[in-house]
Every structure is written in structure tokens, then in C-alpha cells.
Amino acid sequence: MEEYRLEPARSADAPRLAAMSQQYVEAGLKPAWGAVRIGWHMRDADSVVLTARGLRAVVGFAIMRYADESAHLNLLAVAPEYRRQGIARSLLTWLESTALTAGTFRIALELRAGNTAARAFYAALGYQECGEVPGYYQGVETAIRLTRDVRASRETPGTREPSP
């Protein structure tokens, strides 16, 4: 297993991140996340573009946009040869922690309905499916909408105030 470190994306990473999005997230669709759009998020004060950088290249990345009451995970991708090594979990945990620190407790995302691996990944991390959006992906593919309250990850059994 190759070591990696999490760090903010660099402007020079935008073409690589766009290529990863097109290969691993948008496969079979017209590319919507090009280098220009990703670069915009790198400069946006309300967005974080986080990379998992291996010894030779970026092996994974995530883009999250923060608002007052919620955050939206726009993209999360890990190169196939680096999957199942905890990279996606590390990226998401870092972004969730940032949201919690900023007082943003609800995270939302959409994923392709047929992506059973991603559905299982997010379910294991406490994300709840809250609806379907037919035609979400360029009018041809249904999305599943998921949400999670990140405060739940900070609670330990027996420490939560009882409900009335």
C-alpha cells in the first residue's frame, strides 16, 4: 500500500482532477467537471478541493462546498488501483470534520443510482438515502440523494441528552 497525504489541491492539479472525474465519476456521461470548473472551486472561499497525494501523483480527491447550514459533497473519486485502502474515507472524514468545526452539521450528496459500491460506502459511514432524482445526470440517469448529520459521529453512547 502506497502512502499518501491529504492536502489542498494545487491549481496545477485541475487537469488531473478533471480527468479522474471523467473516468471514475462521470463515465458514460458528457463531462461536466472540467479543469476550469474545478479551478473555480479551488478559488472559491466556500469550497474545499482536497487531494490524496501519493508519492508520484494525486490518487484521490474530493470537492465540498459549504453553506451556512449545510455542505454539499460535489465529487469524491479515488483511482481504482488505490481503492479499499481508506483513502475515500480519509478524504470524507477530513471534510466532515471541517464542516463540523465551521458549525455546518448537515452534509448532502448525490450519486448514481446504479453505483452500488458507493451506496454501500456511504451507508457504512452513516449517510441516509432520502430520495431519488430521476434524470439528474444529464436527463438520462437517476441520482440517489443522501444526507448525514455529522454531529452524530461526535456522540458516544450514554453521552447524549435524553429526549423528553
Q: In what order do the strands lie in the sheet with 141-149?
A: 5-8, 47-53, 58-66, 70-78, 106-112, 141-149, 128-137
In a domain, 162, yes or no: no
**Contact between residue 61 and residue 74 where contact means Cβ atoms under 8 Å apart:** no
Nearest by Cα to 18 from 61, 73, 47: 61
In a domain, 26, yes or no: yes
Nearest by Cα to 147 from 123, 164, 163: 123
Catalytic residues: 110, 122
Domain of 121, in residue numbers: 5-154
In a domain, 163, yes or no: no
Low-confidence residues of the chain, pLDDT below 50? Answer: 155-164
Q: Where are the beta strands (DSSP E) in 2-127?
A: 5-8, 47-53, 58-66, 70-78, 106-112
| The predicted structure's pLDDT at residue 159 | 37
In a domain, 164, yes or no: no
In a domain, 160, yes or no: no
Instruction: Identify the CATH number of the domain in which residue 17 sits.
Output: 3.40.630.30
**Number of domains the chain is built from:** 1
In a domain, 50, yes or no: yes
| The predicted structure's pLDDT at residue 139 | 75
| The predicted structure's pLDDT at residue 134 | 76
In a domain, 118, yes or no: yes
